[in-house]
Structures are given as structure tokens and as C-alpha cells.
A and B are shown apart, each in its own frame.
Chain A
Amino acid sequence: MNEVFARGPSLLTRLCIVLMLSVGAMVIDTKVDNLSTLRTYLTSLVSPLQYIADLPGGLLDWSASRFNSRQKMLEENSRLTNQITLMNEKLQRFVVLEDENNNLRELLDAPVREGMYRMIAELMAVDNNPYSHQIVINKGAIHGVYEGQPVLDDTGVVGQIVEVGTTNSRVLLISDITHAIPVRISRNNIRMIASGSGSLNELSLNHVVHSGDIQEGDLLISSGLGNIFPAGYPVATIINIVRDESLPFASITAKPSAQLDRIKYLLLLWPPDIAPVDALSPSDELTREGS
């Protein structure tokens, strides 16, 4: 033993040093708020490892797209064309409705809601620890991503940015146990808070009274309170209500609208005043070229 560890401090001393340093790092990391810049540097420093870990999956995707049969491509193409046509039809009505809504709001002297700037981001298929629900996306500080930015996919709210790296950033999903989002029921505007349950397809609604007018199948949309998520995006659908009168509140679970376990493409949203130049403005019609 002695000849091996002749140099430097003894093994136990080394262990104590490492443990004390890591406890110190933990305390600083959790108690001090202004560490996000340090975290950004560290994340950027190790991002090559993430890119390497992402390679095999990317290669598989690439080869799958290369060896797709012509038949399949044609099928997909016609399906997408159909979808675009149907959506454009909806959009035509939507433009008229939006104008009408804005006119009505102006008549009422209510502030006209401004559209959000958007950018499409892609999931960097990096897995994370089982203790929290986070994903890494391929947009970072150089694209104008900021901490607390809302992230959506094509079906609903996904989460918010918690850590910004130079070229990638980390998203906290709405299903994480530490996450909560203010919502309202689209049917009757009852306000609630949906917090993550730690399971990918379940949110729980806290502190809802037994007498509240809530039904299974109600759609929860973001209420815009809290100034992180913009109002009006679908968050979840109520799937189960247990009204046990012996408990102070009803226990209600909801299923997130976004499919959090099969995310691929995501939308980042910016309010108009801080949007980066290459983000799509609200007036851009994505589908125009397609039709």
C-alpha cells in the first residue's frame, strides 16, 4: 500500500478533499443564483461530447432517410400535401377571425395581442438522468435563446429553457417534478396550476376545490399568468378526477397535449421586442410555399 501511494496525500485525505469540494459545489450551485454564465461556459465546454453521443443516432436517421423507398416518399408527400391543404383552409378562416378579434379588442380598448416570433429547433437526442425530465435542443445563445423561454411542439406546450449554452440549450419539460405552469380550462376559464408529476404523460392539478366545474376531457390552455408562457396554447387534457370529500382538495390528473416521449421538432417563441433577426415573424406564413 505504502509504495503505491507514496506520492501525495493519503487515500482518505483525497476522498475527504473530493467530498468537501463536491459538497461546496452543490451548495454554491443550488444557493447562488448568478451562476448561469458559469454553467453556460461549462455546458459549451462539454458540448463536443454531446455531439459525439448524438452521432450514432444521427447516422441511423440519415441512413433511414437515404434508404427510404420511393413508394414511401410518394406516400408521405401526398399525405403532407393533403395536410397542408386542410390546414390552409383552416388558416384562411383564422386570418379573418384574428382580424375580427383585433378589431373587437380595439373597440373595447383592450390591448391587441401581438403574435410571437418563432424558430424551429431540433432535439439533440441526448438522454438525461432518470431523476428529472430535461432535454437538450440544438439552439443556443448565438440563436438568441434566453433562460425561461417557452418551448412548444406542434401539439402543445413542452417546457421552458433552463440552461443556455453557446450552440445548444436545456429544456425543462412540463412533466418534471419541479415544474409548474399556470393554466385555465378553455371551456369556462377556471384558473389552476398544473405541476409535473415526474411521469412523462401525467400532470397533476393542485388545490382545486371539490365544487369546481371540471369535467374529464376538459382542455387546459396556458393562461399567460406568470409571464413565462404566452396565453392560449394547449397544455393538457384532464383524464381523471377523484373527488374524495375526506381530502381538502380534489385530486385531478391531466395528460399533456404534447407527446413528451416522442419529441423531435420544437418551436421556440420570442416576444416581438427581443426576437432575434432570423426568427420567423408572426406575419410569415409557413405554408404559403407549400400550397
Chain B
Amino acid sequence: MANTGWDEFEIGAMLRTFEGEAGDTVGTLQEDRNYTQNSSFSASVADWRIEKPVFNKDFCIDCQFCWVYCPDISIISRDKKMIGIDMDHCKGCGICVEVCPTNPKSLLMFPEQADEESEIANWPAKETKEK
């Protein structure tokens, strides 16, 4: 698209969200929708990340705070159950970790190259408050 000439696009700087008709968009999961290349859903910001969130479902209470606060709609939740992170659109801001209320946190930031399984295996223990 970056090489498109002035005579090759639709007028009015208007952008379409879907290829063809929208149909039952509301009843269709994001990953199954027919987004156009113009939709930000088609663009990945994965390479923006220096740190990535890792999700440990053992401590998650499905409070949905991360889903509410994520600025990039990158927390994947199904039937109000947190199931993971959309790593194409997460840019590693860490807000989900910040708002996670569990102890220990169910989401923690690690370097992009960290191995998810070994980080979960070495997950921090519950912090005890000093009296």
C-alpha cells in the first residue's frame, strides 16, 4: 500500500473496515472477522515490545481488570474467562500487570526473549505482608 499512487485509492481518505459485507460481525470472534489491510487489526505492533506480559492462569481470579484496562484490546477473554494475550497487538506497556490484583500477580513482565514455560515454573511466591 505504501507504493500506491494518487490515482489508485478510493477518494476522500475513506477507509473500509471489512472486506465485503460486515454480516454478523458482532457474533463473530475478532480473529475470524474479514478485516481489510486498512484495519489496525491487520497490523501487528509485536515488534514494538521490549518486555512482554506472561500470563499464569494458576493465580488468575478472572476479575477482568486487565481486559478493561488494556489500551490495545489485547487481553483475550472468552465467556469472562481470561485465556491469554493477543501478542500481535500487545505493545508491552505493562498496564495489565500494574492493575492485576492477585498475590502473586497473574501477569508479570519479562524480557521479550524470555521462555514462557520456565518463567511460569519459577513464578514468585505469595508475598507476605510484614507486620
A and B bound? no
